[in-house]
Every structure is written in structure tokens, then in C-alpha cells.
Structure 1
Amino acid sequence: MSDAFSPPPAPGGEVSAEERQWGLFAHLSALCGFIIPFGSILAPLVIWQIKKDTMPFVTDQAKEALNFNITVAIAGLISWLLAFVLIGLLLLPVVLIGWVVFVVLAAIKANEGQYYRYPFALRLVK
């Protein structure tokens, strides 16, 4: 039985250098959210749609990045709403710092050819 956090087996062996690079882009593209509204969700979605038929590793990592960024968007929205009762003022920086740290960790792992699973992600896109 497969665990929600366990990565899928590598199809066909080792991950190519091009797939590793696109996997890196899939995770780091989330940082577009600093510049483009909803860029943290749109960028991994675009990479997933472009590479879904040709690169299984990139498909997996782009969906993982998309799920995590949707989760972070929900957490950010809840934190923003809770700012009106002051607890959100503490939660917003935690969400932001955690988001950046996990995106960078995922990008490093993807660049190494490892399937990465974010520890706090809702698996909405399968």
C-alpha cells in the first residue's frame, strides 16, 4: 500500500538531466508569486501542462508544486483573515518563510533527480 508521502517509483530508471532541470523549474517557478498575482499557482500549472505527455518526472514534480502552492495560498488566506484577531500577524510570516524554505528544498531535490513530497500539502491535483 502506498503512503501519501512516498514518492512514486522512477519510471524507466534514472531521471535525465533535462527532466531534472524542468523539475527544478517546476518548483522554483512558484517564486513568480512574488511578482505575478497567483503566479505561484499558475507557473507550476503551465509547466505541468507543457511537459505532462513527455516527462513523467516533471509531471509528478509540477503537480506536487501545484498542490503545495494551493495549500500555501489557502494557509495565507486563513492567516490574513486571522490577522483581524491578531494571531494571523504571527502566522503570515511563518507561512511565508516556510513556503520559501520548502520550495528551495524541493528544487534542490528535484535537481538531484529525487521525487520530492512536501510535508504539508493537500493532494488536490492527482
Structure 2
Amino acid sequence: MQIAHSFLAILAGFITIVGLMGIASALLRRFAPDHTRDDAPPDPLIMAVNVGIGLVCSVLGGYVTARYAQGNPLLHALMLALAVLLLSAISAIQMKGKQPIYYLIISTIIPPLAVLCGGLLRLHQMGLHW
């Protein structure tokens, strides 16, 4: 039963990240269509906005996972961070040549670290200090 609860806590965090990123992407496409086209040249402002959105969504996803985890909340956030790292790396490989390499590296590293920060935020809220 605990494995199922752990899986659901991690899934809740993942759904939080994907859902919020989807909403943010739709809003960007709606309000900045010229900058978000697939054939548009890389725009530093849009890249920075994407990194910022990824950071916020990932912190919230890590927090949600840690909030609903039974046992060690940080361990659950770490599991989510590993999944996010894997998916971010796959995405960066697919985008190779379409985006600058520094952006791909940043967009691969920031989300998993932000997930862990969300887990640490929950620990701090619980009164547990690292």
C-alpha cells in the first residue's frame, strides 16, 4: 500500500509540473505567437521566460510530491527529480541544433534542482531543517 501511495505522490508532482507547463506554454503561444513558433529563431527573452516558468513549475511539483509523500518527503522529491532529469535530457537531445547549447544545458539542469528545492521547502515548512 505504501508503494502505491509513494507512486501517487510522485505522480501528483509530475502532473503538477506538466499541467502548469502546458498552461504556461499555451499562454505564451497565445500572447507571443511570433516568438514561440517552431521555425522562429531563438529569442533570449523567451528562453529566459521558459527557464523561469520551468523553475516555478518544478518547485511546485517537488512541493506537491513532498506534501503528499508518506515517509521521507525528500526521497520522494528526489525520485521525481530523477524522472524530470531524464525527461529534460531526452528533450534537450531532441532539440539539439534547434536551440543554443547553453539553453539546452540550463533547461536540463534547472528543473530537477528546482524539484529538490520544492521538497526542501516542504521540509522547512514541516519544521525539519537540513
| TM-score (structure 1 length as normaliser) | 0.38
Higher helix share: 2
Which structure has the larger Rg?
2
Give TM-score scaled by structure 2 length. 0.37
